[in-house]
Structure 1
Amino acid sequence: MESVGGSGSQPPSQNVEHDMGAEAVEKDTSQQPLPPSVPKKRKEVETRSPVWDHFEKIKNKDNIVVSAVCIYCKKSYKSESKRHGTSTLRNHIMTCLKNPHSKDTRQSLLTFSPAPSSGLTESEGAAGVLGTWVFDQELIRRALCEMIIVDELPFRFVEGQGFRKFILVCCPMFKIPSRWTVSRDILKIYSDERVNLKNFFKTSCQRVSITTDTWTSVQRINYMCITAHFIDHEWKLQKKIISFVPISSHKGEYIAKALESCLLEWGLKSIFSVTVDNASSNDTAIGFLKKKMLSRGSTAVRCKYLHMRCIAHILNLVVQDGLKESDDSVKKVRDSVRYMRSSPARLQKFRELADLIGVEAKNSLVLDVPTRWNSTYLMLHTALLYQKVFEVYEDYDPSFKSDLGGNVPNFLDWEVVEGLVKFLKSFYEMTVRISGSLYVTSNTFFSEVSDLSCILTGLVGAESDSVKAMGMNMRTKFDKYWGDPNKMNFLIFYGNIMDPRDKIEYMPYQFNQLYGDENGKSLFEKVMKDLKELYVDYVTSFPVQSDPVPVEQSVPPTVLSDPVSVGRPQSLLKSQLKKQRLESGELGRKKTELEVYLS
């Protein structure tokens, strides 16, 4: 046992020596200087908070951020990463008065807003007006939708790379919506505008005029469009499309039902007139609509003026009949223009030849639509400017005459075209005047009809047989619609009377020129009688607005102390005249507003 214990353990003296040696080593180690400790370098992490886009970092000598300075108002905040957070900086961004990107900023930015000057649109001649601007996501989004509506842009326009880059430069805070969001926003704008227009028709609008037309698309689908014309609070003419729907047929009963459904949907009861073209189906539709309006309480006097035939359409029919006499010359010019426009090489050669000859016209050749005479006028007017070029082009291109089968316009054809252009110019300008949609044109209709009658009378009495035949055809079509005044809507005459430049001064002479002395006189008396009837109908409906205006009572002449006064003889004469009128009872009768206006 002892041998085993002695062999398995060390003597005590040896253990003591070992412990003392260890202590000596530890003492020697503690007495030696330790090497300096090197701190481990921490990897710099880039700041990820968006608040640093609005602050400038201030660092100490050890490159540690100790404070932040606002780049707008230069206010400083402590911002050590281990002792301070970014909440204070974020709160300052939202309340900084000089931060232009804050939605809730209390101080707006000054800006120059475009204000259109009188008679000009915003795109031309706009003058700067000092205003304020505040970033508003919803307002900019609505303006974007309105731009897409007005400019007829596709919805995917907002997803284009160029538009996104443009917004990033102009307004980085604006979040661009997707095309699906834009489509929903546009539908919401439509619903809001529809409700506003309905309220306006119900509360603020008295009379509305309707224009409607139907057509067939290339898919053989019949469509009908209804436009409302009215005067707004600022006395400006407005037009709004209130219906665009497919219809089963172009028959009058289907047109009438679609028109009635539209008026019921919008709550329109006070319809002033319905302007349609001269199709017989429209006569049936207007007759049906008259019965419906009478059943709703509208007066028979006003319903008498419901049907208005489109004057521009009648003028188009009149000129179309006149062009039938010159179809050969017009066809030759049309074929020549089509030949030039069918090949870019020919058109380039044609332009080079025009420069060589010295033609100063800069207009491009245009091809007409045969069913639209105004486009035919523009084609002939432009081709006439290049008459010399067409005559010389045959020598430079032998295939010109052969491809057209020898039907190249000659000297006589150009003479006919020149006379036709002069003839059509007055009709073209007349069409432009009566087709205006941004201003009232009804006051000029009767004057234009009278002028057209004078022009046709001159054509019928012309010496040239072709011009005379042309005038006869046009006169026949003119008499079909305007030859019988009983078939005309008398609103044409009333609009001319309400024009303060004309009133009834020239109307009797115009009637005599149109329908002869005897018929003209009776027609003028009938127009005045019906006008007074319509006025009485309005007085009954609006008695407060149409009180009779009393004529000024006779004032006794002022007795002046100076017997040689210049005004005394005039006062005496006026007093004598008023005394005679008072004795005859002329001054005792009160005049209506209509009589005062016409006098």
Structure 2
Amino acid sequence: MMSDHSEPIFNAPSTLRSKVWKTFGFFKKEGKLDKSEAVCKICRAAIKYTGSTTNLSTHISRRHASDVELDASTASTSSSTSSTITQFLTQSQLSYNSARAKSITMRVARFIAMDLRPYSVVENDGFRELLRELEPRYKIPSRQHFSETCIPELYKKTKTDLKAKLSSAERVAITTDAWTSRATDSYITITVHYVNLDWELASYVLQTRVFNESHTGKNIGALLKEACLEWNIEDKDPALVTDNARNMVVAGVEAEMSPHLFCFAHTLNLAAQKALHVTTATKVLGKVRRVVGFFHRNIAGAELLRQKQQQMALPSHKLINDVTTRWNSSHDMLERFLEQQSAVFATLMSRELRKGEDVSALTEGDLSNAEDMVKVMAPVKVITTVMCEDEQPTISLIAPFKAKLKNHFEATTEDTGLIKDMKKVFLEDFVKRYTNIEDLLCTASALDPRFKTLPFLSDRETERIFLSITDEATNLHDKKVEESHPSPSDIQEPDQRDPTSVQSSPVQVHEEPRGDCPPCKKRKSTALDQLFGETYVVRPSRSSREKVSEEILRYRERNLLPLNGNPLEWWRAQVDLPLLSDIAKRYLCIPATSVASERVFSTAGDIVSSQRSVLRGDHADQLIFLKKNLKKLEHK
């Protein structure tokens, strides 16, 4: 505590011989030295004095070390005291069961899960040194404690929280896909998607399990059934989204999941791959691939290309090499090559570059074909990008996108021979997809306020779709009413109940007229009845179908949502369309792609890495589950 600057400080008595008294003194109180507090002559800080100078010497060493030189004995005393404190803190370790130790251990477990750290991180010298600095009293448990106790406990708690979330879902959709780890173990990932009570699209990873059985449709179907039972979603009318593989087709049938939607991104990839395998297109891709490969292998060529880019004021972009299984990578390769063609050709023609192979064999015709290929496939790339976003309920986009692509790939008189061939091959493969679920896709689009006019259908087909929505919404409402108000036949009579529930003593029952309630007395006629009884008749309550029809009429009369709007946010605001909202929520929860499952592969690759290739399957499942779900569940 700082003292009043106007009050004088008096020297300590000569009997106090320590050198600290050259720096400290006392105030006077009622004419006498007040020895309860020593006062620093430099900063006028008042420090409690009980006969020991340890506190005073500590103050000098911390605050005025550069101004005052302590005697050896005082410095030794201060150093000894500091050493004693450090030793005390180090030796009095926290108990494993203490709240502080449990909290630190749990934070380390969360660090392992959320940052994809190997369990061995707790044995690393640098990590242990960090913990010692932060909390010397804490002794970190073994890696086995984290792998066998902490992470499983965190997984169990998070799994319980997710089950509670899923219990409120009216309908769910699941996606699934398979992948192989570095240790050649086969895994199958399952994700779940639903629209929550706040009209937000929620997506979670349910499980990533080792699946060393044969990947037949029957086996995968059985796995999907088991997953639904484990997560208590078998009564949520789960929809299924997979790729187009034959075993997945059979799996959907075996799992008895409907609708079974095939990944739209995968469908586009199949059709685009076939279009790019047209003979002329294959030759163009081969020539471009050879040039790109040369610059990837030749360090001098890559450096010279960078210099040419600077001289020509072109973006300093590297050339892209494609992956044969991803059509859009071939599109990206052509697009980047055309962007950099002037720098590429200038580099290849440079005398400074010694070429051991002929890589400049592209003709003007090849470049023209490359430009046409990029142009004709551009809408497919845009649609692929949009369909891979998680934020939007993408099933409602499939029908409009299908119509757009069918129109785009219709041959015209201006098309070159190459483009005509590519369009023909693309359409032949594309139009045969989704033929059995056209109504499902159109219904989803009709329930999306951006596309509710269904401009790609005739007026007759549009009315048929909305009539189908009326039927489905009516049936759904009647089913909910029936479940919430069971019929009298569903209620057991007293003589049908368990005998043990009957009262032991007989009860006298008086004869009463049977019925749901006692007979009511006839209501007396009033003056208003006599005046208006024949004119004003109480109308019977509207049927469910009438209510749904009125909601659909109001829905169709409202303005379209802009294309960049969020349909779920729009539906959240439509409080006067409760019956139609229920059916919209059932459709807009279904993703159009299985990208959610495929994205787990990259996370899994970070977990089942070369350093952890022997990680047990159940540990990998727990870590992937926590990485993908922990923060989501805590923030919702």
Q: Does 1:321 align with 2:274?
A: yes
Query: Tell me, what secondary structure is at the counterpart of 1:490?
Result: helix
Q: Is the 8 A contact 1:456 1:471 kept in 2?
A: yes
What pairs up with 1:550-569 in 2 under 5 angstroms? Answer: none
Q: Is the 8 A contact 1:212 1:224 kept in 2?
A: yes
Offset of 1:181 from its aligned partner?
A: 3.8
Offset of 1:273 from its aligned partner?
A: 0.9
**1:317 & 1:247 partners in 2: Cα distance?**
27
Which residue identity does 2:478 align to in structure 1?
T
Q: Is the 8 A contact 1:481 1:488 kept in 2?
A: no
Closer, same or farther in 2 for the Cα pair 1:399/1:286, shift >3 Å?
A: same
Q: Is the 8 A contact 2:217 2:248 kept in 1?
A: yes
What pairs up with 1:428-467 in 2 under 5 angstroms? Answer: 428-457=381-410, 459-467=411-419
Q: Does 1:380 align with 2:327?
A: no
Which of 415, 422, 428 is residue 476 of structure 1 equivalent to?
Answer: 428
Closer, same or farther in 2 for the Cα pair 1:286/1:464, shift >3 Å?
A: same
Which residue identity does 1:256 align to in structure 2?
G
**2:58 & 2:347 partners in 1: Cα distance?**
79
Q: Is the 8 A contact 1:222 1:249 kept in 2?
A: no
Which residue identity does 2:406 align to in structure 1?
S
Q: Does 1:189 align with 2:189?
A: no
Offset of 1:430 from its aligned partner?
A: 0.9
Which residue identity does 1:279 align to in structure 2?
A
**1:158 & 1:378 partners in 2: Cα distance?**
43
Offset of 1:220 from its aligned partner?
A: 5.7
Q: Which residue number corresponds to residue 346 of structure 1?
A: 301
**1:182 & 1:162 partners in 2: Cα distance?**
18
Offset of 1:433 from its aligned partner?
A: 0.7
What pairs up with 1:489-500 in 2 under 5 angstroms? Answer: 490-500=439-449
Which of 241, 250, 264 is residue 284 of structure 1 equivalent to?
Answer: 250
Closer, same or farther in 2 for the Cα pair 1:468/1:450, shift >3 Å?
A: same
Closer, same or farther in 2 for the Cα pair 1:218/1:186, shift >3 Å?
A: closer
Deviations 1:562-596 (A, max 9, x none): xxxxxxxxxxxxxxxxxxxx9xx9x9884324454
Closer, same or farther in 2 for the Cα pair 1:345/1:164, shift >3 Å?
A: farther
Offset of 1:146 from its aligned partner?
A: 2.8
Which residue identity does 2:245 align to in structure 1?
A
Closer, same or farther in 2 for the Cα pair 1:311/1:340, shift >3 Å?
A: same
Deviations 1:72-107 (A, max 9, x none): xxxxxxxxxxxxxx9xx99xx99xxxxxxxx9xxxx
Deviations 1:336-359 (A, max 9, x none): 11221124343223323332x324
Q: Is the 8 A contact 2:312 2:343 kept in 1?
A: no
Q: Which residue number corresponds to residue 591 of structure 1?
A: 547
Q: Does 1:408 align with 2:361?
A: yes
Deviates further, 385-394 or 466-475: 385-394
What pairs up with 1:50-449 in 2 under 5 angstroms? Answer: 137-164=101-128, 176=140, 178-183=142-147, 184-201=149-166, 203-215=167-179, 221-245=185-209, 246-269=211-234, 270-290=236-256, 305-325=258-278, 326-355=281-310, 357-396=311-350, 402-404=356-358, 408-449=361-402
Closer, same or farther in 2 for the Cα pair 1:167/1:376, shift >3 Å?
A: farther
Task: Please provide the CA RMSD for this pair.
Answer: 4.1
Q: Is the 8 A contact 2:221 2:252 kept in 1?
A: yes
Offset of 1:407 from its aligned partner?
A: 6.3
Query: Larger relative CO (CA 8 A, sep 6+): 1 or 2?
Result: 2
Deviations 1:32-83 (A, max 9, x none): xxxxxxxxxxxxxxxxxxxxxxxx996858x6789999xxxxxxxxxxxxxx
Q: Which residue number corresponds to residue 511 of structure 1?
A: 457
Closer, same or farther in 2 for the Cα pair 1:253/1:394, shift >3 Å?
A: same
Q: Which residue number corresponds to residue 477 of structure 2?
A: 539
**1:58 & 1:544 partners in 2: Cα distance?**
83
Deviations 1:536-587 (A, max 9, x none): 331133228999xxxxxxxxxxxxxxxxxxxxxxxxxxxxxxxxxx9xx9x9
TM score, norm. by length of structure 1:
0.61
Gapped runs of 5+ residues in structure 1? 1-55, 70-85, 95-102, 104-134, 291-302, 513-519, 548-581
**2:542 & 2:218 partners in 1: Cα distance?**
54
Deviates further, 237-246 or 327-336: 237-246
**1:474 & 1:481 partners in 2: Cα distance?**
12
Offset of 1:402 from its aligned partner?
A: 4.3
Query: Tell me, what secondary structure is at the counterpart of 1:206?
Result: coil
Q: Is the 8 A contact 1:212 1:276 kept in 2?
A: yes
Offset of 1:140 from its aligned partner?
A: 4.7
Query: Tell me, what secondary structure is at the counterpart of 2:547?
Result: coil
Offset of 1:372 from its aligned partner?
A: 0.2
Q: Which residue number corresponds to residue 37 of structure 1?
A: none
Offset of 1:460 from its aligned partner?
A: 5.0
Greater Cα radius of gyration, structure 1 or 2: 1
Offset of 1:193 from its aligned partner?
A: 1.1
Q: Is the 8 A contact 2:338 2:371 kept in 1?
A: yes
Q: Is the 8 A contact 1:59 1:66 kept in 2?
A: no
Which residue identity does 1:396 align to in structure 2?
S
Q: Which residue number corresponds to residue 71 of structure 2?
A: none
Q: Is the 8 A contact 2:122 2:140 kept in 1?
A: yes
Closer, same or farther in 2 for the Cα pair 1:336/1:524, shift >3 Å?
A: same
Deviations 1:184-225 (A, max 9, x none): 422221121122223333x32221101012345676654322
- Identity value in percent: 24
Which residue identity does 1:538 align to in structure 2?
L
**2:178 & 2:282 partners in 1: Cα distance?**
29
Query: Tell me, what secondary structure is at the counterpart of 2:177?
Result: strand
**2:421 & 2:478 partners in 1: Cα distance?**
52
Q: Is the 8 A contact 2:288 2:337 kept in 1?
A: yes
Gapped runs of 5+ residues in structure 2? 1-46, 60-80, 486-535, 558-636
Closer, same or farther in 2 for the Cα pair 1:353/1:311, shift >3 Å?
A: same
Offset of 1:480 from its aligned partner?
A: 1.3
**1:178 & 1:410 partners in 2: Cα distance?**
65
**1:258 & 1:230 partners in 2: Cα distance?**
20
Closer, same or farther in 2 for the Cα pair 1:68/1:352, shift >3 Å?
A: closer
Offset of 1:158 from its aligned partner?
A: 4.2
Offset of 1:148 from its aligned partner?
A: 2.9
Query: Tell me, what secondary structure is at the counterpart of 2:173?
Result: strand
**2:160 & 2:419 partners in 1: Cα distance?**
55
**1:271 & 1:408 partners in 2: Cα distance?**
58
